[in-house]
Structure 1
């Protein structure tokens, strides 16, 4: 019984780390993977580097062609920012 009590703080620490650190990261990674899989031609996107453009082509190797002001550029789908793209495509809310 005494041995269990000595390991209890360590067990609780790992439980808290899992609940507050590991699990949310896994959930976010799953959402980003799903977002990249749901991209389609014509979507307006923003890359993690801040480049704005429109998806022209989606390739099977995990890349896509984006049209922007500089022309057509090839990116990895994982380089498209889910958060920034969601803000770009969100309906504008009028301030009163």
Structure 2
């Protein structure tokens, strides 16, 4: 019984550490993997190197994407995991039409 009392603080510390470190990290990793699987052509992305570009090609079987960046339309091929975040997603023509109508009503 005495050894159990000595171990109790360590058990509490380990549980607290798990809740503060591992659980949020697993949630972040799951959200990141979902974002990578939902990448589409014409999404504007930022890479881990800080390059901003638009996706022009996605190769699912190789897990590579090609982005186009800058006024010179430079094409860069990179691994999907090189994408840090999606800046703007591809909007369908129906969504953009609704936004134009709403914009006219507000003015």
Do Structure 1 and Structure 2 share a fold, with TM-score over 0.5?
Answer: yes
Match of 1:89 in 2: 88
Match of 1:79 in 2: 82
Match of 1:56 in 2: 56
Give the alignment's TM-score, normalised by structure 1.
0.83
Which whole-Å CA distance do the structure 1 matches of 2:51 and 2:29 have between them? 21
What SS is found at the alignment partner of 1:53?
strand
* Count of aligned positions: 86
User: Which structure is larger by alpha-carbon Rg, 1 or 2?
Assistant: 2
After the TM superposition, list the runs of 4 or more consecutive aligned residues in structure 1 that deviate by more than 3 angstroms: none
Matched, 1:22 2:25: no
What SS is found at the alignment partner of 1:3?
helix
What SS is found at the alignment partner of 1:10?
helix
Q: Which has the higher strand share?
A: 2
TM-superposition CA deviations, 1:53-85 (whole Å, max 9, x none): 000111122110000126110111111112xx3
Which whole-Å CA distance do the structure 1 matches of 2:14 and 2:32 have between them? 26
Give the alignment's TM-score, normalised by structure 2.
0.75
Which whole-Å CA distance do the structure 2 matches of 1:41 and 1:89 have between them? 11
Q: Name stretches of at least 5 consecutive residues in structure 1 with no aligned partner.
A: 91-96
RMSD, aligned CA? 1.5
Match of 1:65 in 2: 66
